[in-house]
Structures are given as C-alpha cells and as structure tokens.
Amino acid sequence: MKKRADDVVAAFPLFQEDRGGSIPTSALQFQIVKIGMRLARELNMKWHSMLPRTDLGNLLCGTTSVAYAAEFAGNYYAVAIWSQPIIRAMCDGKTIELRRLAICQDSPKNTASRMLGIMRKLVKVEFPQLTKAISYLAIDIHKGTIYRASGWRAVGDIVAARPQRFSGVNKRTRATGPLQTTSRKQRWEIGL
C-alpha cells in the first residue's frame, strides 16, 4: 500500500511530547548531575561567553570543589563549577563559591535558574558544613536576573576588576584580572 502525504504528517505530531525530542524544550526535563572537574572545564570553555578560561589547580584547591551539568538524553546543556572561595577572606570553611555557570545556546529558557535551585540543595548534601554560597557578577555585562530569580541577593560594594598581576599573556599565565574580564563586579549570596 502506497503512503499518502497526510500519513507522514500524522506520524509527526505538531507538539513534541514526552521527552521533547532530541533537544530539551523545558528546563524541567534536565537531570542535574555531578561531573568531573576536567569535563566541567571543557564545557565551560565551549559555552561561557566571557570567562572561558579556568585553571584546574585553582578550581580543585581546598576541600570544597564540585561541578554539575544539566543533562538530557545523554547530552550536556549547561555546566556549573563550585569551589572554595577565591578571595582568602571568604575562606571561612562555611562558604562555597559558584565560579562559573555556562549555558549552551540550545538550552531552553530558565535553565540557569533551575540549575541554581537544584545545585543549592546538592551542594548542601555534598558539603553539610557549608552555610552560604557566593558568586560574582560582571555588572557591566549582566544584570543579575538569574540570581534574583533564584533567591540570591546582591551584597557589598561594586568593585573594579583586579589589575593584571603578571606581565605578558600566554597559556602559562594564571587566569586572573583582565585576562578574565575588565568588568566591575558585585558579590551575590544565598544561604544553603
């Protein structure tokens, strides 16, 4: 029996159902999974618009470092890297810093907010002694919408980017200051 053109249309519904097809159509479809820091670093390098560069040793310092990814149908769509705070004064044994959050362009709306909400719980389970999470926002580029939507609050003064501490720029130079961003920054916090 020969297929008619309308038979093909009936085989492909107008709206995606169940898992949403090959790419996620909702942030609710993601599984937030723990991943290795090297993979997290690679994903960040692919997707982060401003801060693709990270130093693995810097991310693994101290006893509190973990990375998560938003996974759907065997593929990753977002990555987050958490570690001991980079600023020594914040290293109190009760605080963890969200160092990077990078979202792929194929991710659905609200991916970042959903990840922030779930990761907050996962971090608390992983490190029960922690009571606070911090992150720094490049205010010349971003407005803080995802933090605000997830219950974080802006604290402290807006500060200028750190000056470059090393001469020359090459692959062996640490990823600090203008090597990362020249934007002013604001700290955001949330309780765990």
Q: Would you tell me which CATH number, out of the four given (1.10.760.10, 3.40.630.30, 3.40.50.80, 3.40.718.10), belongs to the domain 22-191?
A: 3.40.630.30
pLDDT band of residue 137 (cuts 50, 70, 90) is: confident
Q: Does residue 99 contact residue 87 with C-beta atoms inside 8 Å?
A: no
pLDDT at 131 over 90: yes
CA 128 vs CA 90, 117, 120, 123: distances in Å: 17, 16, 11, 8
- How many angstroms separate the CA atoms of 107 and 104, rounded? 6
Q: pTM score, two decimals?
A: 0.76
pLDDT band of residue 135 (cuts 50, 70, 90) is: very high
Would you list the domain boundaries of the chain?
22-191
Q: In b/e form, how buried is each residue of 146-178, taking b as 16+ CB within 10 angstroms?
A: bbeebebeeeeeeeebeebeeeeeeeeeeebee
CA 175 vs CA 97, 103, 190: distances in Å: 16, 20, 26
Q: What are phi and psi of 184, to 5 degrees?
A: -70, 155
Token representation of residue 151: 């219950």
pLDDT at 162 over 90: no
Could you tell me what percent of the chain has a pLDDT over 70? 73
Residues 6+ apart with CB under 8 A from 36: 67
